[in-house]
Every structure is written in structure tokens, then in C-alpha cells.
Amino acid sequence: MMRVFLVEDEPPAMRKLQRLVAAQPSLTVCGTASTYQEAVAGIAQAKPDLLILDIRLPDGTGFEILQAVPEGSRIQVIFLTAYDDYALAAFDVAALDYLVKPVTEERFAQAIERARERFTHSVAAENRYAKRFLVERLRAAFLLPVESIDWIAAERNYALLYSGMGEFALRSTMDSLEQSLDPEQFIRLSRSAIVRITAIDHIENDGDGNRVIVLSSGARIAASKRYWSTALARLL
């Protein structure tokens, strides 16, 4: 069941939206809001899978709501608005779809089907890929959440996991780690480096055609030419 949160400031439009959602299988409304403040608080509490979002609200915009969503959240977004001049901006923030009122049941169903397919893939990925690693530091063992890892470096028979919680050692090969990590979250930059995509701050060119990935933490990781084209395709 996919949980959806609705943001719409006009009561008649909200009622129609609720009817459209009710007609779709495997959808359940986990919350509604008619203002920016209500939406930010409600989304944080409900943690929906899908957000159907108006753009102009009495106290803010749908884009401002998205800015308040925690980094790393996998909430899918469908804009539903009376204005057709925000479409490019919507896709710039990775919106799944952009629907203009009045929307037909058929067009709405198409957008929901796309969301459902991505949701199914996301659930499968969560079950397939590692959520945490049992790591070592100073002769103690820790369960390190995958989402806390910024990057991973090879070190002889170990991998060094650099995170906001510190640096940890894991006895594993880089190939094995790459297979256990979600490819939507991590990219391989070289034989000895894997990076979490959301940890990247910017990319530099060293002057010889080689790229250096600079993380928000300040770490600098060289990308080998062998891996760069694949990594770039995943970043775009």
C-alpha cells in the first residue's frame, strides 16, 4: 500500500483530489494540508511515500515545502496545479509528474501508475540492499547505518567507511560492497573508492582531464577514467 499526502488550499479541489485518490487501488491518504505550515508539519509526521502538491498556497509555495523535506527522503512528488508555467521548475526538483487542473481521471491514473512502479522498485531495493554494516573501531563493533556513510576507501584487506559518526573498518572487498549498496545512492569512482551521491558537493577538473569529487565534508576523491563515464551517467 502506497501512502499519499495531499496538499491543496481550495476545499472543492481537495474533495475532488480525494475522490481521484479513492478510485485508485493500493493508495491510502495518510494526511492532508491546505497551507505551507500544515504541510511541513504533516509530512514530517506522516512520512508519506507520495506527495500530491499544489504550487500556490496562502503562506508559501509547493517548492518551499519540498525544500523543507529532509535530505535523502525518497518521497515521490506529483504537482497538481491550475498554473502551467511552473512545469520546468517542477522537473528541476525531480517531480515525477506535473498535472494541470482540471485533470481527468485517465491522466491522474497515468501519473499514479508511474508512482506505483517506482514505489514497487524502491521497496524491492530496500529489501535487496544493505541497511547497515557491522564495523570495527578500537576493538569495538558498531552497527553503522548505510545512510550515514559519505564514502568508502579500499585499504588492503579492509574497506574504510567514512561517515559523520567517524571512520570505521570493514573486512570486505570493494566489489562485494558495491553489490550490497543501492546504486541509486552510491557510485563507484575507482577501484578503491565508492561515494554516496548526496554527499557530493561539487566536481573539479584537475587540468589533465581527470575529475576530483569534492564532498560536503571536504574530502576529495579522484575519479578514474575507467569508472567516470558510468558514474557521470548516474549523476545526471
| pLDDT tens per residue across all 236 residues of the chain | 899 999 999 999 999 999 999 999 889 999 999 999 999 999 999 999 999 999 999 999 999 999 988 766 789 999 999 888 877 777 777 788 999 999 999 999 999 999 998 888 777 666 678 889 988 777 778 889 999 999 999 998 889 999 988 899 898 999 999 989 988 889 999 999 999 999 999 999 877 778 899 999 999 999 988 888 888 877 76
pLDDT digit string, tens, across residues 130-146: 889 988 777 778 889 99
Alpha-carbon distance of 119 to 125, in angstroms, equals: 10
CA distance 54 to 81: 5
Vertex 56, ends 50 and 58: CA angle to 5°? Answer: 110
Q: Are 99 and 107 in contact (CB under 8 A)?
A: yes
Phi, psi of 207 (to 5 degrees): 100, -20
Contact in structure between 81 and 101 (CB atoms under 8 Å): yes
CA 116/CA 176 separation, integer angstroms? 30
Local structure of 218: helix, strand or coil: coil
Query: DSSP code of 210?
Result: -
Grid cell 514497487 in the structure block, residue: 120
What is the separation of C-alpha 144 from the centre of its chain, rounded to a whole number of angstroms? 20
Strand-pair partners of 81: 100
pLDDT score, position 129: 85
Residue 228, C-alpha cell as written in the block: 567516470
Amino acid at 194: I
**Whether 4 contacts 43, CB under 8 Å:** no
pLDDT score of 95: 86
Dihedral sign from CA coordinates of 170, 71, 73, 188: negative
Give the Cα separation of 49 and 30 in Å (integer). 9
CATH class of 2-128: alpha beta
List the chain domain ranges. 2-128, 132-235
Per-residue burial over 163-189, b = 16 or more CB atoms within 10 Å of its CB, e = otherwise: beeeebebebebeebeeebbeebbbbb
Q: Which CATH number does 132-235 carry?
A: 2.40.50.1020
